[in-house]
């Protein structure tokens, strides 16, 4: 059976930093489009001018590219259904609002914000849910036309049916039935001539031939409105998929600003740009977020290619998922192990360079096998491997004194280590390790003491990748120079 190519879209509002929720919907959109040979579209929903944040749109485009979710159509790549920025589609919405008014499905509303606020206060006092009171719903068309001709500002409201019920079908949740008397006459076109989400998204999804709308479950409350607007136009509905929400790690409620700040302190974030800076990989982030709402095994490691193979919208789940950053660590570390050495080298070089280090590419390729297994995030490479690229290391003097020894004894060990290394033509680890083992046997110092002093002297740190392999990569000259410096420090103590 051939599957019809899907056209999916991610439609973020540029109102802040791009977050995990947007990335996950974009991933599912991308997977469905790729799976069916269709298209994935980026549409910028920027009609709420007061909330638009400069730079947010660019951050979304950069974020999608970083994740590898390249869209087929969008503001910066164009496409046959453009423009893809809603503020550039004003005429299209005005035209469609007029169609609804002409068909009797919408009406101009002249109520002022003051009046609406008064009505709202009264409704609250009566313990009613705030809703439009219908003042302009039955205004005679010629009266409305007269007011417009006199320059009176108006919005356009959608005329919700009062009788009966609306049945809206969600692919994951089945039929959702709402009594129409519970529905409100929402504004679809504002006084500034720009549409609200309700009109803009519906018109665009139709004009852009979107077949599947995946979006957050926060849109369920206005879902009946959207279905009614589509039916008023007489259009075919897309397949609706309202995705689960993310809960904070405790599973109780949504992530607040305070919790997001705490996560950041712990080295985690729900914002894509931060995740990038914190050393997470797109592969790790995508695998982790994919499983929050997709009914596959919780620890399934998948590349995007494998996800495309396995993806079906029927396997998505509507139940909310708690954010678990330890799992993010797990997926990130796992994907780091799956990268080719050349790929990992290119990514780590960025972090070393940001740290102001001069990276020798040959050394970089050689040290990667020594640190790869230790990396949870890419920036861990700094603590494990910066010493490879430093001219000099700066060990803490006390760290050079081995446990159970004093400075004099430690200096003696360091001098002996120097002699051993100096006697080697090169520092291949096969060659270097045996004489040190012999020294441990004959000297009465234990291996921890000898190797500890040597490690701190040549790497500048107490914890390092395998010592002899590291020294082989650093080379004889660097190791001897660093040991000499450490001996000097110990002799002065």
Which residues contact ligand GLU (rule: CB under 6 A)? Answer: 11-13, 45, 197, 201, 215
8 A C-beta contact, residue 484 and residue 474? no
Q: Give the nearer residue to ligand GLU in terms of CB position, either 226 or 248.
A: 226
- Compute the Cα dihedral for 462, 336, 290, 208 and give only its sign: positive
As measured in angstroms, the least distance from the Cβ of 46 to ligand GLU is 9
Please return the burial class of 363, using the count of CB atoms within 10 Å of its CB with bins 0-12, 13-18 and 19+: middle
As measured in angstroms, the least distance from the Cβ of 91 to ligand GLU is 20
**Residue found under tokens 């998929």:** 241
User: Which DSSP string do the residues of 73-136 spell out, in sequence order?
Assistant: BBTTTB-TT---BGGGGHHHHHHHHHHHHHTTSEEEE---HHHHHHHHHHHHHTTPPP----TT
Of 50, 257, 265, 403, the active-site residue reads 257
Q: Which residues of 237-250 are buried (b: 16+ CB within 10 A; e: fewer)?
A: ebbbbbbbbbbbbe
Name the CA radius of gyration of the chain, rounded: 32
As measured in angstroms, the least distance from the Cβ of 15 to ligand GLU is 7
Active site residue 257: yes
As measured in angstroms, the least distance from the Cβ of 18 to ligand GLU is 10
As measured in angstroms, the least distance from the Cβ of 218 to ligand GLU is 7
Give me 343's structure tokens.
Answer: 């790929």
Q: Give the nearer residue to ligand GLU in terms of CB position, either 214 or 427.
A: 214
Q: Give the nearer residue to ligand GLU in terms of CB position, either 47 or 332.
A: 47
Cα gap 199→38, rounded to integer Å: 25
Q: Give the nearer residue to ligand GLU in terms of CB position, either 51 or 408.
A: 51
286 Cβ contact list (under 8 Å, min separation 6): 23, 27, 67, 68, 304, 307
Q: Give the nearer residue to ligand GLU in terms of CB position, either 201 or 225.
A: 201
How many Cα atoms are found within 13 Å in the side-chain-facing hemisphere of 68?
12
Q: Give the nearer residue to ligand GLU in terms of CB position, either 241 or 367.
A: 241
Q: For helices 407-422 and 447-459, what crossing angle results, to 10°?
A: 70
Cα gap 155→141, rounded to integer Å: 15
Output DSSP code: residue 163: S
Q: Give the nearer residue to ligand GLU in terms of CB position, either 219 or 439.
A: 219
Maximum Cα interatomic distance, the chain, rounded to a whole number of Å: 108
Q: How many C-beta atoms lie closer than 10 Å to residue 82's C-beta?
A: 16
As measured in angstroms, the least distance from the Cβ of 215 to ligand GLU is 3
As measured in angstroms, the least distance from the Cβ of 201 to ligand GLU is 5
Give catalytic residues, as residue numbers.
257
């Amino acid at each position: 059976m051939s599957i019809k190519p899907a056209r999916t879209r991610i439609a973020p509002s540029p109102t802040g930093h791009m977050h995990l929720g947007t990335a996950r919907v974009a991933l599912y959109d991308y997977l469905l489009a790729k799976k069916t040979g269709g298209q994935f579209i980026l549409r910028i929903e920027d009609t709420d001018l007061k909330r638009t944040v400069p730079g947010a749109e660019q951050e979304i485009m950069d974020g999608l590219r970083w994740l590898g979710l390249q869209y087929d159509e969008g503001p910066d790549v164009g496409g046959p259904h453009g423009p893809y920025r809603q503020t550039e589609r004003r005429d299209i919405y005005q035209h469609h609002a007029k169609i609804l008014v002409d068909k009797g499905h919408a009406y101009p509303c002249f109520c002022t914000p003051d009046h609406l606020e008064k009505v709202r206060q009264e409704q609250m006092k009566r313990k009613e849910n705030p809703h439009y009171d219908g003042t302009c719903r039955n205004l005679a068309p010629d009266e409305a036309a007269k007011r417009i001709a006199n320059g009176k500002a108006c919005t356009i409201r959608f005329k919700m049916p009062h009788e009966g019920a609306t049945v809206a079908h969600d692919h994951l949740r089945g039929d959702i039935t709402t009594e129409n008397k519970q529905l409100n006459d929402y504004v679809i076109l504002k006084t500034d001539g720009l549409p609200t989400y309700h009109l803009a998204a519906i018109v665009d999804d139709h004009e852009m031939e979107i077949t599947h709308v995946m979006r957050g479950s926060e849109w369920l409350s206005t879902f009946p409105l959207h279905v009614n607007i589509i039916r008023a136009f007489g259009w075919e509905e897309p397949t609706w998929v309202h995705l689960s929400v993310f809960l904070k790690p405790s599973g109780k409620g949504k992530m607040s600003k305070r919790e997001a700040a705490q996560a950041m302190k712990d080295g985690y974030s729900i914002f894509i740009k931060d995740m990038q800076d914190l050393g997470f990989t797109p592969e790790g982030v995508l695998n982790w977020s994919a499983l929050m709402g997709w009914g596959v095994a919780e620890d399934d490691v998948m590349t995007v290619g494998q996800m495309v193979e396995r993806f079906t919208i029927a396997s998505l789940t509507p139940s909310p998922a708690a954010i678990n950053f330890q799992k993010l660590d797990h997926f990130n570390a796992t994907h780091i192990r799956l990268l080719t050495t050349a790929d990992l080298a290119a990514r780590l070089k960025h972090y070393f360079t940001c740290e102001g280090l001069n990276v020798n590419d040959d050394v970089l390729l050689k040290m990667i096998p020594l640190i790869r297994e230790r990396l949870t995030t890419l920036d861990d490479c700094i603590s494990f491997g910066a010493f490879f690229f430093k001219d000099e290391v700066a060990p803490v003097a006390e760290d050079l004194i081995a446990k159970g020894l004093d400075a004099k004894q430690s200096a003696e060990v360091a001098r002996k280590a120097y002699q051993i290394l100096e006697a080697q033509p090169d520092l291949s680890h096969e060659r270097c390790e045996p004489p040190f083992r012999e020294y441990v046997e004959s000297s009465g110092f234990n291996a921890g003491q000898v190797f500890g002093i040597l490690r701190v002297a040549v790497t500048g740190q107490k914890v390092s990748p395998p010592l002899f392999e590291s020294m082989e990569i650093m080379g004889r000259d660097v190791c001897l120079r660093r040991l000499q410096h450490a001996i000097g420090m110990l002799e002065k103590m």
